[in-house]
Amino acid sequence: MQISKAILIDKSIVLRWTDGAETVYPCLWLRDNDPGAFHPDTRERIFDLLSVDSTITPQGISVDGEGQSLMLQWPDIEQQSVYPALWLKEHRPGLMLKDASLVEPVLWTAWSETDIPRHSASEILTDPASMQGFLLNTLRYGITIVQGLEQSDAAGLDIGARIGPMRNSNFGSVFDVISKPDPNNLAYTSGHLPLHTDLPNQETPPAFQFLHCIANDAEGGESLYCDGFHIAAELRQHKPKTFELLSKIPIPFRFQDDDTDIRCHRPVIALGENGSVSMVAWNAHLAGEFDMDERIVDEYYEAYRTFMAMLRDPSQVVSVKLKAGEMVVFDNRRVLHGRSQFFPNTGNRHLKGYYVDRVDMESRIRLLSNQ
């Protein structure tokens, strides 16, 4: 599509396109986004917005002969600014920039184990399209399983290293989920681990958790998963008052041991700018003493118990017995995870885990989409 005409109206440039459409670009916006306003190597803006008047308009306006570019002569610079038509069409004010990492979440309930999207480790590591498909499915469903990893600690780490840096926490950047003497976390016991999200006590909870199964031949030890976004959607539709309380009232979360005391207040259900659910933070064993106004404590407990009861509904939970060489990857701000009891005297259960932030996963998807 080409530009057929460009005219100045008040403090904006109005473009007329060959298909008859019109788009409006404020002059200050165009000056701020002049291609010459960015460093050619770093791609960072070097233009000082306060160096021009807020009412700036171009002294000259023209369109190249084929309608492929808008050319403006600004009063503060000698060189003519050239704006490609395609760039103007894709970046006009009011239009969100295309983003390959934006996917619509697919909500789920009690899938069978085989319903969880599965991807081959060898294909992920050797084929960019397979890596992109794996990452998109992880965003879309909140959970995937990687199969065919080698029997080494490094094999699981290699997947994350292809995506971005590992997120550090008070448990380290890499951690072993095994039964330990004197544990500082319930994950390091052999008992039943209720559904939860990790580290809601952190200022920013980790986004994606990677758990590589090194060994899992003990009796028991099935992994449990639940789509927190689906739970939130059910509450919003059928129990709006419960949804309102859980999304508006922050509660305290706290982790403490001999070395740390990390606390944060946040609601169980966090909402984004458009009102959609952006995060579920649920960890009953890290929840502190509720400190909201005493007049709503009983009402809040009712909502909290409702959420807890839904997590125990078998129709909401997927049970998976991970095998050695498999790695589950899930959205820790969406998918709750837990574990059935296992018996260490019957065999070994050893998972190696780490976190990768959402921004790094989204960045990798964008880069792969450009290949």
CATH class of 3-91: alpha beta
Residue-level pLDDT at 128: 96
Residue-level pLDDT at 181: 44
Token digits of residue 281: 């933070």
> Left if phi > 0, otherwise alpha if psi is -120 to 50, otherwise beta: which for 162?
alpha
> Left if phi > 0, otherwise alpha if psi is -120 to 50, otherwise beta: which for 365?
alpha
CA distance 186 to 178: 10
Mapping DSSP to helix (H, G, I), strand (E, B) and coil, where does residue 202 land? coil
Mapping DSSP to helix (H, G, I), strand (E, B) and coil, where does residue 9 land? strand
Q: Are strands 219-220 and 327-331 parallel, antiparallel or unpaired?
A: unpaired
CATH class of 113-369: alpha beta
Question: Could you state, in order of their start, the residue ranges of all structural domains in the chain?
Answer: 3-91, 113-369
- DSSP secondary structure string for all residues of 313-334: -GGGEEEE---TT-EEEEETTT
Tell me which H or E stretch contains 82.
Answer: strand 81-84
Residues 6+ apart with CB under 8 A from 59: 73, 74, 75
Residues 6+ apart with CB under 8 A from 131: 124, 125, 162, 364, 368
Q: Beta partners for 166?
A: 356
CA distance 7 to 265: 52
254 touches 286 (CB < 8 A): yes
Nearest to 222 by CA among 322, 111, 314, 329: 322
273 touches 295 (CB < 8 A): no
Nearest to 193 by CA among 156, 150, 226, 147: 226
CA distance 356 to 371: 22
Question: Where would I find the H helices in 127-227?
Answer: 128-141, 153-161
| pLDDT over 70 percentage in the chain | 96
Token digits of residue 35: 């291609």
pTM recorded for the entire structure: 0.88
Residue-level pLDDT at 351: 92
Residue-level pLDDT at 92: 86
pLDDT digits 0-9 by tens, 289-311: 999 999 999 999 999 999 999 99
The two domains 3-91 and 113-369 share their CATH topology (first three levels equal): no
How far separated are the first and last CA of the chain, in Å rounded? 24
CA distance 332 to 229: 11
Q: Render each residue's pLDDT in the chain as its tens digit; 371 residues.
A: 899 999 999 999 999 999 999 999 999 999 999 999 999 999 999 999 999 999 999 999 999 989 999 999 999 999 999 999 999 999 988 888 889 999 999 999 987 667 899 999 999 999 999 999 999 999 999 999 999 998 888 899 999 999 999 999 988 899 988 765 454 555 556 778 899 999 999 999 999 999 999 998 888 889 999 999 999 999 999 999 999 999 999 999 999 988 999 999 999 999 998 899 999 999 999 999 999 999 999 999 999 999 999 999 999 999 999 999 999 999 999 999 999 987 888 888 899 999 999 999 999 999 999 87
Question: Where would I find the H helices in the chain?
Answer: 27-32, 85-91, 121-126, 128-141, 153-161, 228-238, 240-248, 297-311, 358-369
CA distance 72 to 58: 6
Nearest to 47 by CA among 59, 29, 61: 29
Mapping DSSP to helix (H, G, I), strand (E, B) and coil, where does residue 188 land? helix
pLDDT digits 0-9 by tens, 72-81: 999 999 999 9
